[in-house]
Structure 1
Amino acid sequence: MRRLLLALPFALLPLAVAQAAEVHDHEHASLGAHEHGVGRLNAVLDGQTLELELESPAMNLVGFEHAASSAEDKAKVAAVRARLEQPLTLFSLPEAARCVVSQQELESPLFGDTPHADEHDDDDHATDGKGAASKEHHPDHSEIHAHYQFTCAAPGALKTLDLANVFKTFPATRKIQVQLISPSAQQGAEVTANAAALKF
């Protein structure tokens, strides 16, 4: 059921994604590539429901991708998780929209989660034959996935999606590739700290 709202409309976005990709060279065009400094955000506004799904290399948010073993590393992971657990602040949703978090889910190997093979790996080499993730997947390239669902009493007040706070909170994030669907727009765009807002 998770990501159902996101999965259906994003099937309709190939043109917007293709247009955004034309601006960049082939290496940076893939929305699924693990690239330090680059995050991905899917956003869907449907009626009173707003869904946001943020995916980022752990390096952008925590500063490393290895399992946290030292007290300092564990503290960094805990601090990042605490920030991600405050999505109304992180995404600067306007108070006038009266949005409340109805569901949120954070996943990362750094949080002690095991990657779900059905979500990220769709080929046979996802495991080493003994059920363990192969080295070319998550161990060297840890990601953090945050999925939020909001119920907004006044969705008309959501005029823009402002990601400035994401860039301020996680300064190692240089750009975010966004796919946004709302009743009035379907767009694929790349935002930076200097141009961090998109219109719904």
Structure 2
Amino acid sequence: MRRLLLALPFALVPLVAAHAAEEHDHDHGDEHGSLGAHEHGVGRLDVVLEGKTLEFEFDSPAMNIVGFEHVATSDEDKAKVAKARELLLKPNALFSIADAANCSATSVKLESPLFGDKDDDHDEHADAGDADHHEHSEIHGHYKFVCDAPAILKKLDLSQIFITFPDTKKLQVQLISPGGQSGAEVIAANPTLKF
């Protein structure tokens, strides 16, 4: 499964290239990042359904989840981080998976500098003396489910992510399932992902 997740970006390169060629009619004057750039309001969700295993890789700027990206020093900020961590540790509340599929969470892993995890990329910038380095904390979650009846899964309701974290306006989703691979943008007004 890990190899499949690692291969996901390579498998989707043709899809991204085709989309970029079609939709490249815009102004670069306000562009601040590059491919894979940190964008407030936008999260990324990779979904893989293989056999009876359903996995999610969720990445989001901390701004979408807790409302800030700096190290929590005040009691109020520490409480926000603790509450967000508590909510992110409840995958059944975040991902509305069809009950008939009988999926059980078997693994949940969270990583973020806000949770006290080391951010190697930021350390490299600091070591290099990057005076223009800005703090952009990410929150990463890996969720693994085992489903008794995965064939039941035809769609996934992601509305709870938008309800739980209202500063998340859009999810860029990449999906690999028995039906093939696809990419989609999911928003609160249309939070359903079809397998």
| Structures share fold, TM-score greater than 0.5 | yes
Give 2:83's match in structure 1, choosing from 73, 79, 83.
79
Q: Partner letter of residue 35 of structure 1?
A: E
Quick one: percent identity of the two aligned structures? 58
Q: Quick check: 1:92–1:163 contact (8 Å CA) kept in 2?
A: yes
Q: Quick check: 1:90–1:166 contact (8 Å CA) kept in 2?
A: yes
- Provide, for residues 49-101 of structure 1, a one-character-per-residue CA deviation record: whole Å limited to 9, x for no partner: 11100000000000000111111111100111111111111011121111111
**Distance across 2 between alignment mates of 1:115 and 1:36:** 19
TM-superposed CA distance for 1:20, in Å, is: 4.2
- Provide, for residues 10-49 of structure 1, a one-character-per-residue CA deviation record: whole Å limited to 9, x for no partner: 3211122234444465759966110100100111100001
TM-superposed CA distance for 1:155, in Å, is: 0.5
Return closer, same or farther for 1:31/1:48 CA change in 2, 3 Å cut-off: farther
Partner residue of 2:3? 4
**Distance across 1 between alignment mates of 2:185 and 2:33:** 10
Return closer, same or farther for 1:164/1:19 CA change in 2, 3 Å cut-off: farther
**Distance across 2 between alignment mates of 1:136 and 1:105:** 31
Equivalenced residue count is 190
Residue 94 of structure 1 pairs with residue 89 of structure 2:
no
Paired residue secondary structure (1:13) = helix
Residue 64 of structure 1 pairs with residue 68 of structure 2:
yes
Q: Partner letter of residue 144 of structure 1?
A: I
Q: Quick check: 1:20–1:188 contact (8 Å CA) kept in 2?
A: no
What TM-score, normalized to structure 2?
0.86
Q: Partner letter of residue 50 of structure 1?
A: L
Q: Quick check: 2:98–2:156 contact (8 Å CA) kept in 1?
A: no
Residue 173 of structure 1 pairs with residue 152 of structure 2:
no
Partner residue of 1:113? 117
Return closer, same or farther for 1:147/1:31 CA change in 2, 3 Å cut-off: farther
Please identify runs of 4+ aligned residues in structure 1 that moved more than 6 A: none
Paired residue secondary structure (2:127) = coil
Q: Quick check: 2:102–2:148 contact (8 Å CA) kept in 1?
A: yes
TM-superposed CA distance for 1:116, in Å, is: 4.0
What TM-score, normalized to structure 1?
0.84
Q: Partner letter of residue 5 of structure 1?
A: L
- Provide, for residues 136-190 of structure 1, a one-character-per-residue CA deviation record: whole Å limited to 9, x for no partner: 66x6100000011111111112111221110111110111111101010311111
**Distance across 2 between alignment mates of 1:30 and 1:192:** 22
**Distance across 2 between alignment mates of 1:181 and 1:43:** 6
Worse overlay, 139-148 or 53-62: 139-148
Q: Partner letter of residue 199 of structure 1?
A: K
Residue 155 of structure 1 pairs with residue 150 of structure 2:
yes
Paired residue secondary structure (1:54) = strand
Structure 1 unaligned regions, length at least 5: none
Q: What is the aligned-residue RMSD (CA, Å)?
A: 2.5
